[in-house]
Amino acid sequence: MVRLRDVSKRFADVVAVDHVNLDILDGEFLTLLGPSGSGKTTVLRLIAGFALPTAGRVEINGRDATNDPPYLRDVNTVFQDYALFPHMTVAANVEYGLRVTGVPRPARAAAAADALARVELSGYDARKPNQLSGGQRQRVALARALVNEPRVLLLDEPLGALDLKLRRQMQLELKSIQRQLGITFVFVTHDQEEALTMSDRIVVFNAGGIVQAGTPQAIYERPATPFVADFIGTMNTFASAEGRQVCIRPERIELLDAEPATGASVRARAGVTVESAYLGASRTVIVRTDDGTTLTVSIPARSDGSDITPGQRVWCAWEPDSEFIIN
């Protein structure tokens, strides 16, 4: 649906996007993930037409759109601040794009009503944006984008202004809407959990380029570079007996009170707990092993409420196939 070929974008001496090649499939939920300044938002703007590439080619639905203005591209954008008109009703906000393109009033009213129904806001037509909650305003912005029936919907950190509980709720709602509509979503975020929750595929950016692309599970379980391993979740890294750098996720480590049985097919290191943090469903424990390595361990919280206190003698154990090497 979208194809970027050797796309670069410079701002004076700053290279924001550096020779990016990317194919975005029809109907997929693709997330561009990376820290601030990594190039992900600039790539979204290049697809939308809000910026033009310094070099390279942008294709949308098989057509060269490199130099097309935004209104000639079969895409719509939902921004972080939603950009709703405060003086207009919800219905007028949703209809706005259709009105600009000359769609007759009855047709655009019907289309707006259908778009609001899709995002479960039927009956909110006459309200103003300041009469809505943050989640409702987000859905109005989504309806306004969907009413034009774009082939590609671009979402620039649209959940960033919401509180944690509402953001998690909207993550599931957005994914559900995308599946129902079957259109391509390109979502920009710096939130790793958000990307893992929503995406069919994640593209990780750093320093203006793509460092890894794959399914959420592949990105998390088998990061290709030290940057991806460190950026996506928490990672333990230590040297093996052979001198290799071994990586393992905190939830793959089990905390034991005694050394595993002789002959058990597990790796194990003895140590002392340094700190313990209760997180509701889980507990994070920091262990300093006897060889000086610091390991972060994530274990289920104990239902009896008992704590793990600093200074306890423990064993960290894990299965060998939970380890992986990053070059």
Domain coordinates of the chain in residue numbers? 2-229, 235-325
Q: Name the CATH superfamily, with its identifier, for domain 2-229.
A: P-loop containing nucleotide triphosphate hydrolases (3.40.50.300)
pLDDT in tens, 137-174: 888 988 898 888 888 999 998 887 778 887 888 888 88
Under the banding of pLDDT at 50, 70 and 90, the label for residue 302 is confident
Residue 163: per-residue pLDDT? 80
pLDDT in tens, 34-69: 999 999 999 999 999 999 999 999 999 999 999 999
Cα gap 215→121, rounded to integer Å: 32
Nearest one of 258, 234, 252 to 299, comparing CA atoms: 252
pLDDT at 295 over 90: yes
Phi-psi region of 149 (alpha: psi -120 to 50; beta: other; left: phi over 0): left
pLDDT at 304 over 70: no
Q: Which residue's entry shows tokens 């203005």?
A: 69
Residue 87: per-residue pLDDT? 93
Residue 303: per-residue pLDDT? 67
Tell me the fold of 235-325. OB fold (Dihydrolipoamide Acetyltransferase, E2P) (2.40.50)
Q: Which letter does DSSP use for residue 232 in this model?
A: S
Under the banding of pLDDT at 50, 70 and 90, the label for residue 203 is very high
The pTM is what? 0.86
